[in-house]
A and B are shown apart, each in its own frame.
Chain A
Amino acid sequence: MQRYIVSSVTQAVLVLAGVLILVFFMVRATGDPARLMLAREAKPEQVEEFREKMGFNRPLIVQFGDFVFKAFTGDFGNSLHYRLPAFDLILERLPATVQLAVVALIMAVVIAIPLGLIGGASPGSPVDAVGRAIGLVGQTVPPFWLALVLIIVFAVNLRWFPTSGRDEWTSVVMPGLVLSLGTMGRLVRLTRSSVLEIMGDDYIRTARSKGLSDSVIFFKHALRNAAIPLITVIGVQFGYMLGGTVIIESVFAWPGLGRLVAESIGRRDFPLVQGIAFFASAVVILLTVLTDILYALVDPRIRYE
């Protein structure tokens, strides 16, 4: 198990290094980061001054070393628009995004897992049909369009929820639901197929032939084994949600990191975008490591290796 955790952490460090390289070179990919970050009508001397100020005229390797060193001390530079440290702006917006992702994850898990379990245990039943419909909707309905439809129906016509913002506790319902839909669909499909697969396994047949009741077989044998792959997926999906809020937060004017990214790109505030991209990746990577460890704790096949 130690070897397993060490390899997971090593992988995480590699990924983090990859992210740093990617984020650093991305703004330099078009050749001139100063031109990229300034308005098109900026005069040559303004560009030159900006280049000097940002240190873009130093050798690339020096710039990269500086960038990496600062990133590890939490210094992503200053936002060009807000003229504040990017890290402070990120921390300020983080709670809203985490709240949204947590609500969405809870919605997805609470709805998807029971549907998937019942659907897998009795394929073809009405509950199964509902589950499969959610699975398909999650894959085929674009979240930003669903968001618009929900706003038309529930905010404009029925006035049950506010159209946007984060002022009331009901504000989180619609963006949460929209964000959860993709994950919900994936979880229903996964739960269903893993229960279906397990129900055909040898040890289930053995349990049946011993004369155990269906409920004991389902809860003691099938459920425990079906839960293992779910842990990984839920961990990964939470990370996906944190990164997937860009569009949804923009639609609902949710004051989180996603909306900050969309706004910052519009303002060419790339130091802030770099900071958010690195920060969000780091959080996702951390979640992956935690999921791996949890997985090892739950699955005896890894624990005793």
Chain B
Amino acid sequence: MSEQALRPPGGPIPQLGAATSDEGSLSQRLRYVGRLFWRDKGAVLGLALFLLVVFAALFAEQISLHDPLQQNLEVSKQPPGWMTAGRWEYPLGTDNLGRDLYSRIIYGSRVSLTVGFFGVIIAAGLGLVIGMFAGYLGGRVDGAIMTVVNVVLALPYLLFVVFIAGVFGRSLLNVILIFGITDAPIFVRVTRGEVLKIRSSGYVESAVSIGARPMRIIFDHILPNLIGPLLTVATFEMSAMIFYEAGLSFLGLSVPPSVPSWGNMLEAGRSYLQTLPWIATFPGVAIVLTSLSMNLLGDWLRDVLDPRLRRARK
């Protein structure tokens, strides 16, 4: 793909030397990747933000201040704590039903991360298996698989996701399955492309010529080389799924309205844009930061895994 995010010079990048070539030990290679990581401020920021979101999702019970579902009309429509009418008891304010926005955003991270994580696992798993078949077997199997993949990728994606969600109804599992299945073609295409490239490479040819069996070639030579490209695509797709989940919630097609999710919160805040603008503001900030973290990490992964780009960054 030519959609690279190239960055201008940001200090010298360590070069691949003898110590970091393929003979280098694992720890040496990890240290090398670590050095590349610390030099990229965007990547460090991305990782920090991502860990923050994961932390919020894992420890939501501990770090939230109120029950995210508890309605309390006495404190409804509170502005954020730093505003004159606000109370620090409700740092980001409350919604029209008096629910604490801060706690709801903390709990909302669970929905977004669950959809993003499991959606990507399903999509990548399906894509890996199907893409390997297509790339390794070639011929008619490949032709048939790629026709289906091209059909799916040629469709107006959002329209069909909305259509499917409308048919199957709102539940977390449905949303995960919808994204997991509709997003698989992207992983199929990436896997197939990489498999074709690896298959025609010198080292696979030599392995074949000394009599390695197909299983050995797949597990020893092809799979390890797929991890990098798939991981890169996975970060971007996870960010996209979090986006689309919020979009579906916003249309009332994702998790049920009682579940605190960022999209549901945005949808609820939409009716109060004029009077209580903070309700719709903070969940959006949460989506932006989560998505930003994954994009920064993805950009870094892509740059590091593609030596051609690493050169261009110099």
A residues in contact (CB < 8 Å) with B: 11, 14-15, 18-19, 22, 26-27, 29-30, 36, 123-124, 128, 132, 135-136, 139-142, 144-146, 148-149, 151-152, 156, 186, 189-190, 192-194, 196-197, 200, 229, 239-240, 242-244, 246-247, 250-251, 258, 261-262, 265-266, 270, 273, 276-277, 280-281, 284-285, 288
Contacts and interface: CB of A to CB of B under 8 A. Distances in A.
A146 B156 CA distance: 21
A265 B155 contact: no
Contacts of A273: 163, 166
Interface of B: 2-9, 147-148, 150-152, 154-160, 162-164, 166-168, 239, 243, 246-247, 250-253, 266, 269-270, 273-274, 277, 280-281, 283-284, 287-288, 291-292, 295, 312
Given A14-B151, A128-B8, 4 more contacts: A144-B246, A246-B162, A261-B159, A284-B155
B5 A132 contact: yes
A26 B164 contact: yes
A140 B3 contact: no
B281 A149 contact: yes
A284 B8 contact: no
Q: Is the interface of A mostly helix, strand, loop or mixed?
A: helix
B251 to A, nearest CB: 6
Contacts of B157: 240, 243-244
Contacts of A124: 8-9
Contacts of A243: 155-159
A199 to B, nearest CB: 10
Task: Name which of B163, B246, B253 has the most chain A CB atoms within 10 A of its CB.
Answer: B163
A247 B250 contact: yes
Contacts of A141: 288, 291
Contact of B150 (A11, A36, A135, A280): A11
Q: Lowest 8 A-B CB distances belong to which pairs?
A: A243-B156, A124-B8, A145-B284, A18-B151, A265-B166, A140-B291, A193-B4, A123-B8
Contacts of A148: 266, 269-270, 273, 280-281, 284
29 contacts: A14-B150, A18-B148, A18-B152, A22-B155, A29-B167, A123-B9, A132-B7, A136-B295, A140-B291, A140-B295, A141-B291, A142-B291, A144-B246, A151-B273, A190-B3, A193-B4, A193-B6, A229-B2, A240-B156, A240-B157, A242-B156, A243-B157, A247-B158, A247-B247, A261-B162, A265-B166, A276-B159, A280-B159, A284-B156
Contacts of B246: 142, 144-145
A244 B158 contact: yes
A288 B148 CA distance: 16
Nearest to B242: A142
Contacts of A258: 159
A115 to B, nearest CB: 14
Contact of A140 (B6, B154, B162, B292): B292
A133 B164 CA distance: 34
A139 B295 contact: yes
Contacts of A240: 156-157
Given A140-B288, A247-B251, A189 B168 contact: no
Contacts of A244: 156-158
A116 B182 CA distance: 31
Contacts of B155: 19, 22, 243, 281, 284
A136 B269 CA distance: 25
Given A145-B280, A280-B156, A284-B154, A156 B274 contact: yes
Contacts of B162: 246, 261-262, 265
A197 to B, nearest CB: 7
B270 A142 contact: no
Given A36-B167, A200-B312, A265-B253, A15 B154 contact: yes
B152 to A, nearest CB: 8
A229 B151 CA distance: 21
A276 B167 CA distance: 15
A116 to B, nearest CB: 11
Nearest to B278: A152
A196 B284 contact: no
A164 B159 CA distance: 21
Given A27-B167, A244-B158, A277-B160, A123 B6 contact: yes
Contact of B273 (A36, A152, A200): A152
A140 B50 CA distance: 13
Contacts of B283: 145
A297 to B, nearest CB: 21
Given A140-B291, A261-B159, A194 B2 contact: yes
Nearest to A243: B156
Contacts of B147: 14, 18
Contacts of B250: 144, 247
B167 A144 contact: no
Given A132-B5, A193-B5, A15 B292 contact: no
Contact of B163 (A142, A149, A265): A265
Contacts of A151: 273
A18 B163 CA distance: 16
Contacts of A146: 284
B6 A192 contact: yes
Contacts of B239: 139-140
Task: Name which of A145, A151, A152, A266 has the most chain B CB atoms within 10 A of its CB.
Answer: A145
A67 to B, nearest CB: 16
Contacts of B167: 26-27, 29-30, 36, 270
Nearest to B156: A243
A197 B274 contact: no
Given A151-B273, A247-B158, A142 B288 contact: yes
